[in-house]
Structure 1
Amino acid sequence: MAVVVALLGLLAVIVVTRPASAADNPYQRGPDPTLASVAASRGTFATAQMSVPGNGFGSGVIYYPTDTSQTFGGVAIVPGYSALFSAEEAWMGHWLASFGFVVIGIETVTRTDSADARATQLLAALDYLTQRSSVRDRVDPNRLSVIGHSAGGAGVLTAVLRRPTLKAAIGLAPGSPVGNYNMSSDRVPTMFISGQRDTTVTQAYLNGIYTTIPASTPSAWVEITGVDHLFATRANTTEMRVLIPWLKIFVDNDTRYTQFLCPLMDPSGISMYRNKCPYTPSPSSSPSPSPSPSTTPSPSPSVSPSPSPSSTPSPQPTGACTASYRTVNSWSGGYQGEVTVKAGNSAVNGWAVRWTLSSGQSISQVWNGTLSASGSAVTVSNASYNASLPASGTTTFGFLANGAPSTPSLTCTSP
């Protein structure tokens, strides 16, 4: 009798403890994983897809779980130089969606877009996914991630430096002709996946980048045995059985998946594995039920990534609109700027941002806005598609300029 009572007491503890543990993670999705389930080409969620027009990117396809009872983390995927997502990475769409992610795979504005432009388009895709897409209500805007191959992978590296609030990043043979990236300001959990026989993005090249990631930032590097630079352009189970746990751990805070990476549960087909185990996901913010709409920037020409963009905030909106500026990047003789326009307490329909250029400055290109200039006085007004902003809504325009960057004094008005 004493043994029976003891067993019943233990069972009661188990029954009480397990639901409490699950309640601690409201983002946990799907049943308990196994090595077989992680390596499977489909998870447990039924999926669907839809095509979407370009919105700061060329065009896209969204893959999503049909379950409407919960929200999911978001993933944006961009292809490599001269490549098409539809031809090379589309195989990942339903695969990832079936594991509980909303995925947007994009085509670039041009197939020769730079790595920097691909970063811009990745972030534009996430903004579109969470703010304007028809499935935005099932995407948690606080749990977003990026994936890219080759020059798209280099775009991933730039994206994490620009937006440190991303939860995870995966560079598939990330490489760019601009040279080695300095990731010393990377705060986003970053995984590299590469090919043992890749002569385009070599192990030595990646090592020069990987070693600059701070020790405090979770990172991992998986090298797949016997594959070349194009391993990510075709269905690859070895890639996905490490990629999915990375997303699950850091996008879904799901520690059930750490068993596959710490230590590597299945090393078959993997020639090298570098890690920073144990992996402990940081707490996510509570999901936002209805993110406020905004528009997103179009891609910019290639420049080397800036590890720590500067930002100058404007006062909180009290009038029709305000504008804030940041230097995205700079180089000898020029720089890239970005301005965020924010509506005040009421919606606006049309806006214009004005400032005075410093000596030696001139603007050569503007996107997501219309430029007019008279001497050193410049005005950027809205494009047709981002004129209307809801109360406290935002939109962003960017520009390239000659000269040295400075901190302009901006004014924003609305007709």
Structure 2
Amino acid sequence: MAAVVAVLGLLSAAIATRPASAADNPFQRGPNPTVASVAATRGTFATAQTSVPAGNGFGGGVIYYPTDTSQGTFGGVAIVPGYSALFANEEAWMGPWLASFGFVVIGIETNSRTDSADARGTQLLAALDYLTQRSSVRDRVDPNRLSVVGHSAGGAGVLSALLRRPSLKAGVGLAPGSPVGNYDLYNDRVPTMFISGQKDTTVTQSYLNGLYTTIPASTPSAWVEITGVDHLFATRANTTEMRVLIPWLKIWVDNDTRYTQFLCPLADSTGISMYRNKCPYVPPGGSSPSPSASPSSSPSRFPSPSPSPSPSPSPSQSPSQSPSASPSPPPPGACVAEYRTVNSWPGGFQGEVTVTAGGSAVNGWTVRWTLGSGQTITQLWNGTLSTSGSAVTVKNASFNGSIPASGSATFGFLATGTPSTPSLTCTSP
């Protein structure tokens, strides 16, 4: 009897000393986080992966998952790439990283590399349905704790998915474009984070500001701008991105208030040029244990070292972007085209062309120029390319042909050779 009483006493003591947050939150996973652990390239969970065939509403992909089955189910995350891009080439680095922090992640390829942003949103939702209903790891995923992440046009797909499935717990748009025309998020009810690049000329701060301000005041949201990076930041392993993305998912997918300390206020501002928030972030049934900052309606800026952009871009695709008004006087004629070199490296470069309408709206545009000696275009986005020898013709894509008076649209390309300044012509239609 004495031995039984002693054992019961030890059990009582163990239960009494268990952290209250763990007892109150059945979704909490992993040890207590620190600034260092959130910034680490791997969490504490061992992971494995399994391939997904095409034919389930999306173009196949890979599932990454924690191998530990002792802690119950995990929250789910679906990731989709940008226009013309492949998850396997650009976002696959995120899969095992997130899984090691206690999420089941499905990274998908799209049915077509030219699928629209709305189609990418549809495929994100199909991927979550597959993950929770038919996948080989469906017993590891909580179907009520799901989230979506996407880059560029895939980020625009995230916004589309959030509006169509308000039961989602979180969404993260990495340099998100606009699914269609003049898009807004007035009906967004899902906690939404934007992560953008300070030097992104495709999805600009001005554009994102117009979109971010349409998120209802009652919807938790945040916007993080990374110092010194361009549109392609999410296509490379990025600790700055992950140390804000992981807490966002932990707070809203796992209801884990241990992670609010990293966002309210921002615990580590290194490499971050702007941060907008609606602190405090309190998930359902939780209370924030960390000091909370007052909601910020204007950007907060931080003096921090500016990492140099990568000298060689990966073949990422830019998103569809709604034409933006030009502050300069309307050009003469139907449209004009202006070129700039975004980046260059030995043997290649990245170019960008801005098409600006004149005093009247245009419905369809065509830009022509002649390649320099040794130049060859290897990839182009936000337009339709045709070449004949050194003659280049780029017509608008389906989503950016209509430009309002004095408005503009942009397309970009990768090319071999040495950059030059071509003479462009623009006609409409």
TM range (shorter): 0.5 to 0.7
1:214 deviation in Å?
0.3
Question: Helix, strand or coil: the match of 1:75?
Answer: strand
Task: Indicate how the Cα distance of structure 1 residues 115 and 35 shifts in structure 2: closer, same or farther if over 3 A, else same.
Answer: same
Aligned partner of residue 273 in structure 1, secondary structure: strand
> C-alpha displacement at 1:68, in angstroms?
1.6
Structure 2, unaligned runs of 5 or more: 1-11, 287-319, 323-429
Aligned-CA RMSD value: 1.9
Matched, 1:242 2:238: no
Which of 147, 150, 161 in structure 2 is aligned with 1:148? 150
Alignment of 1:263-342 (within 5 A): 263-283=265-285
1:56 corresponds in structure 2 to: 57
Distance in 2 (CA, whole Å) between partners of 1:23 and 1:273 is 33
Select which of 230, 233, 240 maps to 2:232: 230
Distance (whole Å) between structure 2 residues aligned to residue 162 and residue 75 of structure 1: 16
Show the 5 A alignment for 1:395-414: none
| Distance in 1 between residues matched to 2:21 and 2:29, nearest whole Å | 14
Aligned residue for 1:263, secondary structure, equals coil
Q: Deviations over 1:288-323 (max 9, x none)?
A: xxxxxxxxxxxxxx9x9xxxxxxxxxxxxxxxxxxx
Aligned residues with identical type, % of pairs: 85
* Residues matched between the structures, number: 275
Q: Does the CA contact (< 8 Å) of 1:180 and 1:208 recur in 2?
A: no
The SS at the match of 1:141 is strand
Partner of 1:341: none
- Residue of structure 2 in register with 1:160 after alignment: 162
Question: Within 5 A, what are the aligned runs for 1:179-194?
Answer: 179-194=181-196
Q: Are the structure 2 counterparts of residues 120 and 177 from structure 1 closer, same or farther at C-alpha, using a change threshold of 3 Å?
A: closer
Which residue number corresponds to residue 27 of structure 1? 27
**Which letter does structure 2 place at the counterpart of 1:208?**
G
Q: Match for 2:58: what amino acid?
A: F
AA matched with 1:68: T
Shift in Å, 1:182: 1.0
Aligned mates of 1:18, 1:271 — CA distance in 2: 39
CA contact (8 A) 1:180 1:209 kept: no
In 1, distance between residues paired with 2:98 and 2:139?
A: 18
Q: 1:19 to 1:232 in 2, by over 3 A?
A: same
Paired residue type of 2:23: A
**1:39 corresponds to which residue?**
39
Q: Paired residue for 1:395? A: none
Output the CA distance in 2 between the equivalents of 1:268 and 1:30.
25
Deviations 1:309-358 (A, max 9, x none): xxxxxxxxxxxxxxxxxxxxxxxxxxxxxxxxxxxxxxxxxxxxxxxxxx
Gaps of 5+ in 1: 1-11, 285-301, 305-415
Query: Given that residues 28 and 256 in structure 2 are in contact (C-alpha distance below 8 angstroms), is that contact kept between their aligned partners in structure 1?
Result: yes
Is the Cα contact below 8 Å between 1:47 and 1:66 reproduced in 2?
Answer: yes
- State which of 241, 261, 264 in structure 2 corresponds to 1:262: 264
Aligned AA for 1:66? T
1:282 Cα deviation after fit: 1.8
Matched ranges for 1:55-204 at <5 A:
55-69=56-70, 70-176=72-178, 178-204=180-206
**Mapped partners of 2:136, 2:14: distance in 1:** 41
Cα deviation, 1:68-88, whole Å, max 9, x if unaligned, reads 221000000000000000000
Contact 1:42/1:98 (CA < 8 Å) preserved in 2? Answer: yes
Using the TM superposition, give the Cα deviation of residue 21 of structure 1 relative to its aligned residue in structure 2, in angstroms. 3.0
